[in-house]
A and B are shown apart, each in its own frame.
Chain A
Amino acid sequence: MMTEIYDEWWERVNVLMEELEGTAVKINLERWYFIISYEFDYYQDELRQRHENLSSGLQEKFYLILAEIDFQYQLLAARAMRSEQVLWSLFNFLKDLPGRLGVILANLSNPPISG
């Protein structure tokens, strides 16, 4: 399942890059593509393992969290073409996603004390 989730997000990265190619964006897309793909590759196995170790109840919770992340991504993506600053934030969002999923999976397995 984690592979499918990963593939889905990776597909978004590719779609975004395709949309941006040929536009007047001054950001170095090739560089960002490298950075994001580096992070995705680096965390992939660890995430798959952490996800496999979750109980089915916690996996359900994980999908609810993914829905929130998806909502946040959509909010950003909807206005990404309006300014390079927003686009930059969107790239940062994608770059940080693998590590963020790792934190989520770790917290689901071993919840911190609130507060």
Chain B
Amino acid sequence: MRNMEYCIRGNEGTFQLPKNGSDLASFIVAHPTYIYPLINIVNVLSEVNYDQRSDFTASSLRECELMGQVIVDTPESTHFVQVLESFLQRDIATSGQLRGKLLEYLINAIGPMSDLGDDRQTVRDCYLVDSEERLMGGGSNFDFAFIDYENRKYELLECKFTLANFLDYRKAQAMRKIEYMDTISNILIGKNYNVHVAFVSLAFSIAYELYFLDNHGLTQIAIYNYEDMMTRFEVRRSSQKNQSV
């Protein structure tokens, strides 16, 4: 039997967001502590009028200030409110699609969630093929693959801003995706690759999501949440500091 090797195919180009999203995304990458109010606001305020939105936003920022994460009424926080409003308008117009793209942008900026090393390749909207370019695991894909071919390490990520909603209310679609993640993981593990397959969500609580996967016997699929994202931002910040020294 011939030695079957696998490869990830997909988009390796620059990640771009529409203008209404890119302003906020750039701001968040530069000021990651604003992710906290962003999550609270985006999760609940897509459907309401501007007055309620501004009251909610102000309260969310006060909450963050009490936590020591931001300082309100500064040019920085004012800028956040401006770019957020533009983002929300676009997010509403696209039925919440922009928030998903924003999460992908952030992952693209911070890199893999595990320690994969710097010598890696990043591919988006990607799928696994064999040595004859045959598609493996069916017609689905991953949002991200971070690959260290030399050391046979793969990190495959699927981003969902609100994972619980995806698992519970788009269940058929979710199960297809999970089955795909599981299949690809097993194919690669079977060939002795070091594979890490996970969902990335901006939820604070993920106990139910872990229960859901466990209940379906899918314990090899990990879930990263808000705290994990913030840890990666911190790692990125430290690494940038070290490089600039």
Q: Which residues of B contact A89 (CB under 8 A)?
A: 43-47
A114 touching B60 by the CB < 8 A rule?
Answer: no
Q: Which residues of A contact B71 (CB under 8 A)?
A: 114
* Chain A, 22-73, CB within 8 A of any chain B CB: 31, 35, 38-39, 41-43, 61, 64-65, 68-69, 71-72
| Contact A96 to B43, CB < 8 A, known contacts A35-B208, A43-B207, A65-B63 | yes
* Chain B, 160-197, CB within 8 A of any chain A CB: 162, 164-165, 168
Q: Which residues of A contact B227 (CB under 8 A)?
A: 103, 106
Q: Which residues of B contact A97 (CB under 8 A)?
A: 204-205
Q: Say which residue of A65, A85, A99 sits within 8 Å of B204 (CB atoms).
A: A99
| Contact A92 to B44, CB < 8 A, known contacts A99-B225, A103-B226 | yes
Q: Which residues of A contact B69 (CB under 8 A)?
A: 107, 111-112, 114
Measured as residues with beta carbon below 8 angstroms from the partner, the interface class of chain B is 35 or more
- Kindly provide the distance from the CB of A7 to the nearest chain B CB, expressed in whole angstroms: 18
- Kindly provide the distance from the CB of B37 to the nearest chain A CB, expressed in whole angstroms: 11
* Chain B, 16-73, CB within 8 A of any chain A CB: 30-31, 33, 36, 40, 43-48, 52, 55-56, 59-60, 62-63, 66-71
Chain A contributes a number of interface residues (CB within 8 A of B) equal to 41
Interface of A is mostly: helix
B206 located at the interface, meaning its Cβ lies under 8 Å from any Cβ of chain A in the complex: yes
Interface of B is mostly: helix
10 nearest A-B residue pairs (beta carbon): A99-B205, A99-B204, A42-B207, A111-B68, A100-B204, A68-B63, A89-B44, A39-B205, A107-B67, A96-B204
Other A-B pairs, 13, CB within 8 Å; known A31-B168, A65-B67, A104-B63: A35-B164, A42-B207, A68-B60, A68-B63, A68-B66, A75-B56, A85-B46, A85-B47, A96-B203, A97-B205, A103-B36, A107-B68, A115-B31
A-B contact pairs, 15 of them (CB 8 A): A35-B164, A38-B208, A39-B205, A68-B60, A72-B44, A72-B59, A75-B56, A86-B48, A89-B43, A93-B44, A96-B204, A108-B67, A111-B67, A114-B70, A115-B30
Taking beta carbons and an 8 Å cutoff, which residues of B are in contact with A? Answer: 30-31, 33, 36, 40, 43-48, 52, 55-56, 59-60, 62-63, 66-71, 76, 162, 164-165, 168, 203-208, 211, 225-227, 230, 234
